[in-house]
Structure 1
Amino acid sequence: MALALYIHWPFCRSKCPYCDFNSHVRENFDSKQWGVGLRSDMRHESSVTCDEPLTSIFFGGGTPSLMPPELVDSLLTEAESLWGFAPGIEITLEANPTSIEADNFAALALAGINRVSLGIQSLEQEALHFLGREHSADEALAALAIAQEHFDRVSFDLIYARPGQSADAWFGELDRALALGTDHLSLYQLTIEPGTRFATDVRRGAFTPLDEDSAADLFAATRERMRAAGLPAYEVSNHARPGQESAHNLTYWRYRDFAGIGPGAHGRRGGRATVRHRKPENFLSAIARNGHGIAEERVLPLREQAEEAVLMGLRLDEGIDLDALAGRFGLSRDTLVSARKLEQLVEQKLVEATEERIALTESGMLLLDRVVAELLVGAPETV
């Protein structure tokens, strides 16, 4: 069975006000100590996973572009020695487009990174200030140009549906983004996550999020714009030219095995779920005690795996092969989803269904969680 590897780097220069990821601001970190810890965590995973070569590696964060290239090189060397690399392996690193980090792109490419995902977030200076980003719009464009020189594949993120953002303003920005020539764009609507600074700001009345109807209209129009530009949505928020989809993220959405190492990393492998210690210091302490950073590991019941696979698979434009997915977990189609609910959702034009696959419509994508909950209602409690 194929396996992907996720490596979490927890450090950032500052905490963005919208971010609820496991990221920590630290003045300094000991890269040698982190190299020892992450390699130890990796060796543990190799001892309990399949011995098939890795199909993809993803450095996420945090801000992985803050990692010294020598550390990235050592981790990739370790991963290759433990599992081997499948032909054409995709190795992605998330990066911020500051000039300091862009200076490392050449060395990161030499270390083995062949795909980079840039957190540009906006091409407008005022929006970057609102989003708490450290880079300027000019720095973002310069970093993108450098990335395109050094990496085989480049993607970047934009955040839209910002407070007061009009359709004309957003599509002007999107057209500029499309003209930059990348084959993959991740376009996320601004969401106010609990526990973030933005959640506090909204509660205090500092700003008002864009209303749901306007955001929904932008979502639908954005998907149409991207389809017309030759980068259709293959997932809720991800758009690519055919063949340029993120192989690593497809591993998640197709519910295939992946090992997750580093602070707060999640993993799904061999029917088990793993979660690493979130706080960097606690993670390193666990490594010293146990040789790995796992805080929790549990066997996933087959039904839970199947339901997670439905939720993840319906994020994709391709949808799911319901019979194949149910059979993969020893279930039947009728015991996994409600036939009555499926028929109703098709009538409501939220789901499209054929003999082989079911997929969400454009309207259904906006109601993903609700649609999945309805599909799974009435399923037996046990396998």
Structure 2
Amino acid sequence: MADDWRNGGFGLYVHWPFCEAKCPYCDFNSHVSKNINQKQWLKSYLSELQRSAAETPDRVLNTIFFGGGTPSLMAPETVAAIIEESRSLWHPANDMEITLEANPGSVEAGRFTAYRDAGVNRISMGVQALNDEDLRRLGRIHTVVEARAAFDIARNCFDRVSFDLIYARQHQTLDAWRAELTEALSMAVDHLSLYQLTIEEGTAFGDRYAVGKLRGLPEDDSAADMYLATQEICEAHGLPAYEVSNHARPGAESLHNQIYWRYGDYVGIGPGAHGRVTLDGQKLATETYLSPAAWLEAVSKGTGEKERTPLPTQDQANEYLMMGLRITEGLDIDRFNTLSSEPLSESKLTDLQEIGMVDRLNGRLIATKDGRAVLNAVIRELLG
């Protein structure tokens, strides 16, 4: 139990909370600020790294992920110092993956070369759409031409490049999505994150939707058809789904995200970052202050954490189930049963298996393609 996290590995998530503009669909903790004191932010990040490492000594660090916000707005010197400090505080894995998220509007060759020299070895680009009209609707500040140029720059600097696209957008047809996805797959990409547009409360899109002003969203059946087409097209191009929304050529999967899905441990630092860290045999959920100013102030007093909550083993089992069923490798049934106060219901498993929602193979529970398409319903049934 104390070492359960080792089944998933150990990673570091660094949240950079700033963007050049706030996208109307985004519910991430991101802020627009004209003046950012990079030295102050670096000092605070290093302080948090040192505090976290003191609690998790002697661990092998498998991954670092710079997320946001727009981490490609970070000074390369800031990124380099964080990577160097992390390598000194933990034991870096021989194949450590270091990912940095980037928006095409903030990409230029010199900066990307500096990130590579700092130790970043994987880039995740927020392209989101491959036509200018939809980019404008999504509030993006780059054009398709800029996105393609940024992708070419990234490809020249890094062996591993992923990019994101959003589908089920306003006025989007199934045929248009098929054409756009096929175009994306022609760009020598080896990893794609493909997300259905969701309307979140507290966003500009959420406000418009609430008063009936967000028009042209596809019906549920159309969005489901787009999801199924996504699986079919990516598989035909050699990028099968390895998770509900993520597709990769074999060997190009995101190691950092696999830590989440395999329910490992990860330290989360920066405003609004979450973590899961096992200390003295107890898995803790950690949460930091959302406001950049509040987080900086808290770090200056000793910790950027707002709270940490011990997770009962049943909660851990449930989280493992919810994360593990997202990936095509599924979850280890014995591991779930060790965490859980009671084993998975045999009758529910049999029922779900008979209707083609799950499979059991070599001691693992796996959601089928049909099951992943309605995964929330499958999870509700298993946990109900």
String of CA shifts for 1:29-80, please: whole Å, max 9, x gaps: 1000000101111111101114122110000000000000000011111101
| Counterpart Cα distance in 1 of 2:364 and 2:65 | 29
Measured after TM superposition, the shift of residue 347 of structure 1 is 2.2
Q: Work out which of the residue numbers 302, 317, 324 in structure 1 matches 2:335.
A: 324
Query: Is this contact kept in 2: 1:95–1:101, CA < 8 A?
Result: no
Measured after TM superposition, the shift of residue 228 of structure 1 is 1.0
Measured after TM superposition, the shift of residue 174 of structure 1 is 0.8
Counterpart residue type for residue 301 of structure 2: R
Which has the larger displacement, 40-49 or 62-71?
A: 40-49
Aligned positions of 1:78-93 closer than 5 A: 78-93=85-100
Which residue of structure 2 lines up, in the alignment, with residue 312 of structure 1? Answer: 323
Q: TM-score w.r.t. structure 2 length?
A: 0.94
Aligned positions of 1:127-138 closer than 5 A: 127-138=134-145
Aligned positions of 1:138-177 closer than 5 A: 138-177=145-184
Which residue of structure 2 lines up, in the alignment, with residue 43 of structure 1? Answer: 50
Q: What is the SS of the residue equivalent to 2:242?
A: coil
Q: Does 1:347 align with 2:354?
A: yes
Q: Work out which of the residue numbers 302, 310, 314 in structure 1 matches 2:313.
A: 302
Q: What is the SS of the residue equivalent to 2:58?
A: coil
Q: Which runs of 5+ in 2 are unaligned?
A: 1-5
Q: What is the SS of the residue equivalent to 2:126?
A: strand
Q: Work out which of the residue numbers 265, 276, 284 in structure 2 matches 1:268.
A: 276
Q: Does 1:117 align with 2:124?
A: yes
Which residue of structure 2 lines up, in the alignment, with residue 279 of structure 1? Answer: 291
Q: What is the SS of the residue equivalent to 1:234?
A: strand
Which residue of structure 2 lines up, in the alignment, with residue 66 of structure 1? Answer: 73
Which residue of structure 1 lines up, in the alignment, with residue 28 of structure 2? Answer: 21
Q: What is the SS of the residue equivalent to 1:19?
A: coil
| Counterpart Cα distance in 2 of 1:155 and 1:326 | 35
| Counterpart Cα distance in 1 of 2:106 and 2:224 | 35
Alpha carbon RMSD of aligned pairs, Å? Answer: 1.3
Measured after TM superposition, the shift of residue 341 of structure 1 is 1.6
Measured after TM superposition, the shift of residue 172 of structure 1 is 0.8
Query: Is this contact kept in 2: 1:306–1:336, CA < 8 A?
Result: no
String of CA shifts for 1:7-45, please: whole Å, max 9, x gaps: 000001111000000111111110000001011111111
Query: Is this contact kept in 2: 1:66–1:101, CA < 8 A?
Result: no
| Counterpart Cα distance in 1 of 2:374 and 2:21 | 33
String of CA shifts for 1:150-181, please: whole Å, max 9, x gaps: 01200000111112211111111111111100
Query: Is this contact kept in 1: 2:72–2:107, CA < 8 A?
Result: no
Matched residue count = 372
Measured after TM superposition, the shift of residue 210 of structure 1 is 1.1
Query: Is this contact kept in 2: 1:263–1:277, CA < 8 A?
Result: yes
| Counterpart Cα distance in 1 of 2:361 and 2:43 | 51
Measured after TM superposition, the shift of residue 366 of structure 1 is 2.4
